[in-house]
A and B are shown apart, each in its own frame.
Chain A
């Protein structure tokens, strides 16, 4: 992967520092100009913990100067995400039932519905490019949470992840299925290929997952995000597949979505009942963050949906 195009003087200095190999250069960075400037810089720093950039020295992942910048950006992002959340809902009885009910009760704009019925091929291509920022590293952020969970949810998350990563078969690994779909559509299947087009909402969506995954303190938010993601996937993936079929777009991309109709009907149950519920039972102090992570997942997807629907002149 190659470094992205900066979006302001701040991300310009962060990206230049990464390219130079000398982490002290980041000290010359001005304050971020815009939220997008900050988000792109944070995204670039986070990528050092996944598969990195070809032109960046891998050692920079833990350079204290860059970690300090990352921490400041993270604090800012976390504060913003928390300010959007209205707190743990009150419920009686079972956590799993309450969580499913909360997710089902959430009513946001749906890109999948638009793709199913009305989107043009160009719009679908544009959406898939935005989705690629996450889907090409699908499941990677929450993988960081595995060793941070108590016994029962740790085993369950591993079981879910085993399926996401193809059950030992690279050709079934979900991120790789998506890459195959992109290639079949004539799009670039390489990580980071479409980051320069990603709007703020897409960068935030990705950064939130890395924030939750890379900070053990936020393990509750990490698996709560996962649970809400999985619990809002089967239906929308079916609509995406139907939209792709309506437009006669590549079978390989449909296969990615078809796989998720079925896989995520399993994953949502695992995530809510066998990961989040036992985590909350074993470590009650994480419950608030589980709900916070779930809310953040739904809220950020709403923002992405609103961005594209507005851009395409569709009322949500």
Chain B
């Protein structure tokens, strides 16, 4: 990756997936959520209280069990 490459999707080890730009994200119940900020963090650990968005809860999961 060059210094200035700009991926639109970034997977954060142990944490969320960063999504750059405007998207419609469908949660596991089939409900659509529009992104509201320049970059959004989509929960990958399944434990967020504000799904589909990450709320930092992945940090309280033991490290081995994080995504």
Interface residues of A (CB under 8 A from B): 97, 100, 104, 150-152, 155, 159-160, 162-163, 167, 233-235, 238, 261-266, 268-270, 273-274, 278, 281-282
Contacts and interface: CB of A to CB of B under 8 A. Distances in A.
B4 A151 contact: yes
A262 B55 contact: yes
Say whether chain A's binding surface is mostly helix, strand, loop, or mixed. Answer: helix
Contacts of B60: 235
A268 B41 CA distance: 10
A104 to B, nearest CB: 6
A238 B60 CA distance: 14
Contact of A159 (B3, B38, B56): B38
Interface of B: 3-4, 6, 10, 12-16, 18, 20, 37-41, 49-50, 53-57, 59-60
Contacts of B49: 238
A264 B56 contact: yes
Contacts of B59: 104, 235
Contacts of B55: 234, 238, 261-262, 265
Nearest to A258: B50
A265 B51 CA distance: 12
B37 A167 contact: yes
A18 to B, nearest CB: 38
Contact of B40 (A152, A238, A266, A273): A266
Contact of A278 (B3, B12, B56): B3
Given A159-B38, A238-B49, A273-B10, 17 more contacts: A97-B14, A155-B4, A155-B6, A159-B39, A160-B39, A163-B37, A167-B37, A235-B56, A235-B57, A261-B50, A263-B37, A265-B53, A265-B55, A266-B39, A270-B39, A281-B3, A282-B3
A231 to B, nearest CB: 9
Contacts of A97: 13-14
Contacts, number: 68
Contacts of A150: 3
B38 A152 contact: no
Nearest to A233: B56
A306 to B, nearest CB: 23
A269 B38 contact: no
Nearest to A161: B38
Contacts of A270: 18, 39
Contacts of B4: 151-152, 155
Contacts of A234: 55-56
